[in-house]
Structure formats: structure tokens, C-alpha cells
Amino acid sequence: MQRDDWLKPKGRASFYALAAALLLALGTAAAQDKPDPVPALTGDIGRGQAIVVSRQVGLCLLCHAAPAGDSRFQGNLAPDLAGTGSRWSVPQLRQRVANARSLNPDSIMPAYASTEGLNRVGSAWAGLPLLNSQQIEDVVAYLQTLQN
């Protein structure tokens, strides 16, 4: 018997049986190595509204208008946020907030979840997204309430 003879199948059926056994074993091992999925974050509507109207955090109203109470000096460079909850689903809103450029590369909207391709970032903020995952979920929860 040569050194690699054990690799050669003794027929088509035995080859498929060996392949199936290997795939099953690999799949079981991979399933055991996977960490538990991260629990989904729940957005808070009040915190989301605070982020949207904040001139220090979200800065959304620099470009967008929104039905946000008495917030003055709202922008007109981007679409009005009124009705966003009826226009887009939660995943669509999340994608737009996290990285609008994934949908429109020419968008002027910041990629709030991205740390890539940014220019002139202060050293205190280098490598950090503009909004963390919880803040993005909060903004999405608020935007979802804007139905009209």
C-alpha cells in the first residue's frame, strides 16, 4: 500500500459517505466554536430624539428639518425627516443612519457608524464612529415614530 492510498475512495458511494461525514464533523465543530450572537439592541425613542436635535451629538438638524418641537434653525440641504418611519423600514433606516453612502456614494450625510475614509479627524476621535451602536438604534427608534 502506498502512502496516499487511504485517500483514494474505494468507490463512489464510499467517497460520498466520507465527504458527508467530514462535512458533518466540521459543521458540528464550527457550531461549537461560534460565540453566542450579540443580543439585538433596543432603541430608546427619547434618547434618539435628543440625539437628532442635539447640536453637539447628532447634528441632524444642520441639514434636515424635523418635527422636533421648538428646535430652531433647521436645515434644508437634505430631506425632511417628517414621515421617515412610513417611508422606510427599521433596517432601511438603520442603513441610512449608519452609512448613507452605501446607498448613495455622493451623499453628504456622514457615515455615523464608520471609521473609514474620514478626513481631518481630531486625535481624540480617531478610530471612533460618530455614533455608537446604541445611539444609532436610538435614532432609528425615534425616526420610526415619525409617521407623518
Q: DSSP string covering 79-114, please?
A: ---TTHHHHS-HHHHHHHHHHGGGT-TT--S--TT-
Q: What integer is the mean pLDDT of 86-96?
A: 94
pTM for this entry: 0.69
> For the chain, which residues make up each domain, given as ranges?
1-35, 45-145
Residues near 30 by beta carbon (within 8 Å), at least 6 away in sequence: none
Q: Which residues contact 128 (CB under 8 A, 6 or more apart)?
A: 115
CATH of 45-145, one of 1.10.3720.10, 2.40.110.10, 1.10.760.10, 2.40.128.630: 1.10.760.10
Q: Where are the alpha helices (DSSP H) in 8-58?
A: 12-33, 45-53
- Per residue in 47-77, pLDDT (tens digit) is 999 999 998 898 999 999 999 877 778 888 8
Q: What mean pLDDT is reported for the chain?
A: 79
Residue 31: C-alpha distances to residues 22, 27, 35, 40, 136 (Å): 14, 6, 9, 20, 30
